[in-house]
């Protein structure tokens, strides 16, 4: 995987979904771990050194990164109210990191396939293809890559995972709940996607921390599948052998995204979080396919996914049930 034994590794986003899956792998590898967190974050479950810093303002960031060997930057804004939210949440954080930590040995930036843009055919979108984001989120991740690249040059390694699923994820939780009730909605017609379980995504991150890793890497758990089959795998893990897949016309999906986004704007004044479904996510859903080409990460640093879709879904459902979310 990666020889990070004894390395001082600092993480952003350690308190989040992907961070909860990555930390055990770093512990097993013998890394010396520091987790950057906001003072408002719940860190009671993290048995590692905590360094408090603000990625938006940069306050405390220089001190947190002092003496570190590797930074794994996972913190990101996944759901926002508009372009400015995504830029402030993602691109601004990248700039603050660059200003605070120019002496790092390596930076591993967990970006997103959204930065590369959609692709519906094999072998999938590759690292050297011209990026074509279709959402504000995708553009903010691509901009973050560019900003960090300007600061760190060849010391930057970028990982662009596709759909990540697993225990602790709140983004797909509404879909799991819908499937539990026996129904799933597909924008237009079913389209191909690449996916990866959070544990395999964590393994890929660890691979990117290896000294052999260079540049940008796309990753997936194997051959792409139809989004409808992804939902059916959820249903099987939930004990739902019969699942109704509803092909919702794009205009209706778009209208629902606008309504949800508008409701979110109103909720903003009452302290509510941005909704998971909004016009920005609709732009990604209507793209018609998100297939990644993973040949580079397999060839250069030997990444191999270890979790099947069926096993991954079982783990995800088990995690949700342990938290009384399903």
Q: What is the DSSP secondary-structure string of 216-265?
A: EEE--SSS-EEHHHHHHHHHHHTT-SS-EEEEE-HHHHHHHHHHHHHHHH
Residue in the structure block whose two tokens are 């016009």: 279
Q: Is residue 53 part of a domain?
A: yes
Question: Helix, strand or coil for residue 52?
Answer: strand
C-alpha Rg value of the chain to the nearest Å: 19
Residue 266 in domain: no
Does residue 82 lie in a domain region? yes
The answer as to whether 306 is a domain residue is yes
Instruction: Count the domains in the chain.
Output: 1
Print the domain residue range for 204. 8-171+193-224+289-322
**What confidence tens digit (pLDDT) does each residue in 66-125 have?**
999 999 999 998 888 777 888 888 999 999 999 998 889 999 999 999 999 999 999 999
Q: Which of 38, 154, 158, 58 lies closest to 101, judged by CA?
A: 58
pLDDT tens digit at each of 326 positions of the chain: 568 889 999 999 999 999 999 999 999 999 999 999 988 888 888 888 999 999 999 999 999 999 999 999 999 988 887 778 888 889 999 999 999 988 899 999 999 999 999 999 999 999 999 999 999 999 999 999 999 999 999 999 999 999 999 999 999 999 999 999 999 999 888 899 999 999 999 999 999 999 999 999 999 998 999 999 999 999 999 999 899 999 999 999 999 989 998 888 888 888 788 888 888 999 999 998 999 999 999 999 999 999 999 999 999 999 999 999 99
Asked whether residue 177 is assigned to any structural domain, the reply reads no
214 within domain boundaries: yes
Residue 244 CA, distance from chain mean position: 28
The per-residue pLDDT for 236 is: 97
Which helix or strand (DSSP H or E) is residue 205 part of?
A: helix 198-208
DSSP secondary structure letters along 96-121: HHHHH-TT-SEEEEE--GGGT--B-S
- Residue 123: is the preceding peptide bond cis (ω within 30°)? yes
- Tokens read off for 69: 């060997």
Domain assignment present for residue 278? The answer is no
How far is Cα 323 from Cα 326, in angstroms, rounded to an integer? Answer: 8
pLDDT, tens digit (0-9, with 9 covering 90-100), for 114-147: 999 999 999 999 999 999 999 999 999 999 999 9
pTM summary value? 0.94
Residue 295 lies in a domain: yes
Q: What is the pLDDT of residue 264?
A: 82
CATH of the domain at 45: 3.40.50.720
Q: Which helix (H) or strand (E) holds 156?
A: strand 156-160
């Amino acid at each position: 995987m990666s020889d990070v034994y004894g390395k001082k590794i600092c993480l952003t986003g350690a308190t989040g979904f992907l961070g909860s899956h990555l930390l055990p792998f770093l512990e097993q590898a013998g890394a010396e771990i520091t987790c950057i967190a906001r003072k408002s974050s719940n860190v009671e479950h993290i048995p590692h050194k905590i360094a408090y810093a603000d990625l938006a303002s940069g306050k405390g960031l220089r001190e947190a990164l002092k003496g570190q060997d590797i930074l794994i930057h996972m913190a990101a804004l996944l759901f926002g109210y508009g372009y400015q939210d995504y830029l402030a949440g993602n691109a601004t954080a990248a700039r603050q990191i660059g200003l605070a930590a120019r002496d790092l040995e390596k930076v591993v930036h967990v970006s997103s396939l959204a930065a590369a843009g959609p692709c519906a055919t094999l072998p999938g979108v590759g690292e050297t293809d011209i990026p074509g984001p279709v959402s504000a989120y995708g553009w903010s991740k691509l901009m973050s890559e560019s900003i960090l690249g300007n600061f760190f040059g060849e010391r930057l390694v970028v990982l662009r995972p596709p759909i990540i699923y697993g225990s602790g994820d709140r983004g797909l939780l509404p879909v799991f709940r819908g499937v539990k009730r026996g129904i799933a909605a597909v924008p237009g017609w079913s389209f191909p996607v690449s996916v990866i379980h959070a544990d395999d995504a964590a393994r890929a991150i660890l691979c990117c921390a290896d000294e052999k890793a260079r540049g940008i890497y796309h990753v997936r758990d194997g051959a792409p599948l139809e989004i409808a089959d992804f939902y059916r795998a959820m249903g099987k893990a939930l004990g739902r052998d019969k699942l109704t897949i509803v092909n919702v016309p794009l205009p209706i999906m778009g209208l629902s995204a606008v309504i949800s986004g508008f409701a979110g704007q109103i909720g903003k004044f009452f302290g509510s979080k941005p909704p998971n479904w909004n016009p920005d996510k609709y732009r990604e859903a209507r793209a018609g396919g998100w297939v990644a080409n993973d040949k580079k990460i397999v060839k250069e640093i030997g990444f191999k996914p270890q979790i099947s879709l069926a096993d991954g879904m079982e783990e995800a459902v088990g995690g949700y049930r342990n938290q009384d979310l399903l």
